[in-house]
A and B are shown apart, each in its own frame.
Chain A
Amino acid sequence: MTAASRWAGLAALLALWQGLALAGDGWLLAGPVQVAEWLWSNPGPTGRATAATLGNAAWGFLLGNGAAIGLAGIAALWPRALTLVAGLALVVFCLPLIATGPILRVLMGPGDGPQIVLAALAVYYTTLIPLLAGLRAMPQAWLDLVQSYGRGRWAELVHVRARAALPYLLAGLQISAPAAILGAMVGEFTGAERGLGVLTIRFTRDLDVPALWAAATLAAGLSMAVYAGIGWLGRRALSDPPPVILAAPRPVRGSPARKAAQAALLIGVVLVLWWAAVAGLNPFFARRPPDVAAALLWAPDAAATRATLGAAVAQTAGLALPGYAAGLALGAGLAVLLTLRPGLAAVTVPLAVALRSIPIVTTAPLVVLLLGRGATGTLTLVALMVFFPAFVACQQGLAQAPGPILDLFRSHASGPLRQMLHVRIPAMLPALFASARMTVPAAILAATVIEWLATGQGLGNLMALSASVSDYDMLWLTMVAATLLSALLYWAVAWAEGRVLAVMATEQVRP
C-alpha cells in the first residue's frame, strides 16, 4: 500500500466520521471539526493532562520493559527458569487492571505510583512474550557454532541471541507503547489528580459529548503517535522489518508428575510474592492469601460470598467468551477478505491501526454512548479488543505463505480461493493462535471495564462496588477470579494451539 493510498484512506475515514456526526443529533457523536474546535479552545487543561499521562506512561514503559528484558535474559541463560518466568508473566498479565488499580491506590496512596505501576504491568507481557520468542528464533547451527568454540549460554546470548531477538524486542516495544498509555489512564481512573483518564471520567459524568470525543481523540492520537514513533525507530535501527510473532508456547516436557510439580511451584511462587507484596501493610486493605481463602471458604458469610462471586464470574464469562470468539472470527475473516480483495485495504488498514492504538478506557464510554448499556455494548467492546490484534496478526500470517508452494499452486492454474484454502490459511494458523492467546486477558479486561463503567453486572461491577464500600475481601477475590478466568482460557487456547500446530505447522512447536 502506497503512502498516497494510506493518506487517502485516512481522509476517507475522517470524512465518514464527520458525515456520521452531521447526520446524528449531536448527543452521541462529535465530528472531527467539533473535536478540533474543543481542543483549540481548551489548550490548558488538555495540555496538562496529556503531559501527566505521557510522563507516567513513559516511566511505566521504562520499568515494565526493563523488567521484561531482564526476565527474558534470565530465561535465556537458565532455560529451566523459563516455565516459571513465563507462568509468572502470564499471571501478572492476567491481573485485571480495574481491580489492581484501586488496590494499588490504597497501597500507594495519592500521587503517580499506581499510574506508573499499572503502565509497567500493562507493557511487561507484550514485550516479554515476543522477546522470549526472539531469543529462540534462530537456526540451531548458529548456537552450534558458539558451542563448537566451547562457549556457553552467556556467549550465545551476547553474540547470537540478543541480536537475533532485536527485531522481536522492537515489535514488542511498539505494541507496548500504546499499552503504557492505557495502563497510565486506568491508574488515573482510580483517583489521580490529573491526566487524560481523569478528564475522561469527568466528561463521561457530565455527558459532555464533544469533550469526551476530544479526550478520546487525544488519547488515541497519543497512542498512535508512540506506536508510529517506535515503529519508525525500529525501521531505522533494523534493515529488515520486524518479524511476525509466531512462536507457539514451548511444550512442557516430562511426566504428568513433573508438570504438576511445575504448576505447584508456580502457584507457590505467586502466593509468596503476593504475601511479600502486602507484608507490613495494614491488613484491613492489604489482604493476604489466607484472609482471601477464609472469606471464600470458611468465614460465616462464605456461602453468600461464593454465590455473589460465582454469579459475577458467570456473567463476565458469558459475555466475554462469545465476544472473544466473534472478535477472532471477524479478525481472521477480514484478513482473508483483504488478501483476496487487496483494494479494500486502503480504508480498512488505517482504521485497524487507529483502533488498535486507542486505549480501551476511552473506547468503552464511546461504545456505551453509541450502543447502550446492554449486552450488545459489552459484546462489541470485547470483540473490538480482540478483533484488531487478530486481524493484524492474521494478515501478516497470510503473507507468510511459502512462495514456492504458492508457485506450485499457480503452476497448476489454481485460483486465489484454492491458494487461500490450501496454503495461506494453514500458514496463518500460528499467527491466529498467537493472537488468540495474547488477546485472552484483553478480552477479560474489556468485559470488566465496560461492566465497571456501564453495565452494572459481572466481575467489573463487583470490583467497582467492593472498592467503593471498602469490601477488600471481595475486591481481592474478584481479582483472583478474573486472573484465574484469564489464565484458564489462556491455557485452554495454548493447549488447542499445541494440538493444531503439531499437525499443521510442526516447525512452530519445536523448542
Chain B
Amino acid sequence: MAEIACTGVSKLYGDSILAVDGIDLTFVSGRTTALLGPSGCGKSTLLRLIAGLEEPTAGTVSIAGDPPAALCRRGGLSIAFQDPCLLPWLTVARNVALGRKLARQAPDPQRVDQLINLVGLGGFQNARPAALSGGMRQRAAIARALITRPQVLLLDEPFGALDALTRRQLAQDLPPLWQEQDATALLVTHSVDEAVMLADRIVVLSPRPARVIADLAVPLPRPRDPETPAFRRLAGDVLAVLARGGEQAQSLAAQ
C-alpha cells in the first residue's frame, strides 16, 4: 500500500515566487486523483514535490510513511513528464525497457511489447524518437512509466500532445492497467474532460500559488463516455468551480 500524504506543503522559489501554499492532501492506494488547475498554477510543482524531485520549503510529503526517495529507490514510483523525455539514441522498445533498467528490475521484453501495442505504437518498436510525432512520443513515455508496475504513478499532462481520438482511446485503455495493481495514480491536467474521464477524485487548485479550492468525487461508472448527460453535468460543475477559483484569486489579488 502506497498512501501519499502531503502535510502543510509549500514551495517558495527564490524570495518571492510562491508556487504551492500549504497543501494538505492524502491520496489512497488504488485510486486515481486528478489535480486540476489553470496553467502555471503550481500543479506540476506539487507533482515534483511528491516525486521527491524537489524539497518542500515547508511541510512534509510522505509515501507509505517514508520520504518519497525511499519508494523511488525501491523502483516503486514512475512519472510520465509533460515533455516525453525519450532518450533520442534509444529505440522505442529500449526507451520503454529503460524504465525497468532504472528501477533495477529484470528485463521483460514481452511486457514491453504488450505495452507498446496497447499505447498504439505496434510496429514502431525499433523506431527512434525523432521518427515519431509528438503524440506518439507521449504514448511511448506513458508505456515507460507503466512498465515497472509502479505503486505510485504520476502523470504530468500525459495526454496534452494527443489527438482527441487517441486521447479518448487511451483514457479507456490505460486506467485498468494501474488499477489492477492497486497503484496510487495522480494525474496533473488543465483539461476538465480529461480529469472527469480518468479520475475517481478531482482536486481543484487555485491559480498560483496552488491551494486546494475543491475536492470532488467522480461517481461515474467506467468505462465513461464524455457525451453522456451525467458526464457533461459533472464536467460543467467542475468547470464552474474552476472559474470561481479564478475569480476569487483575482479579487484577492485586487485587494
Chain A interface (Cβ < 8 Å from any Cβ of B): 139, 141-142, 144-151, 155, 159-160, 163
Contacts and interface: CB of A to CB of B under 8 A. Distances in A.
13 contacts: A139-B83, A142-B87, A144-B81, A144-B85, A145-B79, A147-B53, A147-B72, A148-B72, A149-B72, A150-B72, A150-B75, A159-B101, A160-B87
Given A139-B83, A141-B85, A149-B103, A159 B53 contact: no
Contact of B77 (A139, A142, A148): A148
B198 to A, nearest CB: 21
Nearest to B99: A149
Task: Point out which of A142, A144, A148, A159 has the most chain B C-beta atoms below 10 A from its C-beta.
Answer: A148
Interface string B59-74: 0000000000111111
A470 B187 CA distance: 75
Contacts of B75: 149-150
A112 B83 CA distance: 53
B185 interface: no
A304 B70 CA distance: 67
Contacts of A139: 83, 85
Contacts of A144: 48, 53, 79, 81, 85
Task: Point out which of B48, B51, B78, B85 has the most chain A C-beta atoms below 10 A from its C-beta.
Answer: B85
Given A142-B87, A163-B89, A149 B81 contact: no
Contacts of B77: 148-150
A76 B28 CA distance: 38
B53 A148 contact: yes
Contact of B51 (A148, A151, A159, A160): A148
Contacts of B85: 139, 141-142, 144-145
Given A141-B83, A148-B51, A155 B89 contact: no
**What are the 3 A-B residue pairs with the smallest beta carbon separation, nearest first?**
A150-B72, A150-B73, A149-B102
A149 B68 CA distance: 10
Task: Point out which of B53, B69, B70, B148 has the most chain A C-beta atoms below 10 A from its C-beta.
Answer: B53
A163 B87 CA distance: 10
Interface of B: 48, 51-53, 69-75, 77-79, 81, 83, 85, 87, 89, 98-99, 101-103, 148
Contacts of B78: 148-149
Nearest to B71: A150
A144 B78 CA distance: 11
A141 B101 CA distance: 17
Task: Point out which of A141, A149, A159, A160 has the most chain B C-beta atoms below 10 A from its C-beta.
Answer: A149
Nearest to A238: B89
A454 B156 CA distance: 66
A326 B70 CA distance: 58
Contacts of B70: 150
Nearest to B74: A150
Task: Point out which of A139, A146, A150 has the most chain B C-beta atoms below 10 A from its C-beta.
Answer: A150
A159 B89 contact: no
A265 B95 CA distance: 42
B134 to A, nearest CB: 15
Given A149-B72, A149-B75, A163-B89, A155 B81 contact: no
A150 B83 contact: no
A40 B54 CA distance: 68
Contacts of A146: 102
Contacts of A160: 87
A155 B102 contact: yes
A139 B86 CA distance: 11
A378 to B, nearest CB: 46
Nearest to A144: B53
B113 to A, nearest CB: 22
A151 B98 CA distance: 13
Contacts of A159: 87, 98, 101-102
A291 B75 CA distance: 58
Contacts of B52: 147-148, 150
B79 A148 contact: yes
Contacts of B103: 149
B47 to A, nearest CB: 10
A238 to B, nearest CB: 9
A266 B181 CA distance: 54
A507 to B, nearest CB: 15
A163 B79 CA distance: 22
Contacts of A163: 87, 89
A343 B153 CA distance: 56
Contacts of B53: 144, 147-148
Contacts of B81: 141, 144-145
A150 B79 CA distance: 12
Nearest to A146: B102
Contacts of A150: 52, 69-75, 77
A143 to B, nearest CB: 9
A154 to B, nearest CB: 12
A145 to B, nearest CB: 6
A153 to B, nearest CB: 14
A163 B98 CA distance: 14
Nearest to B76: A150
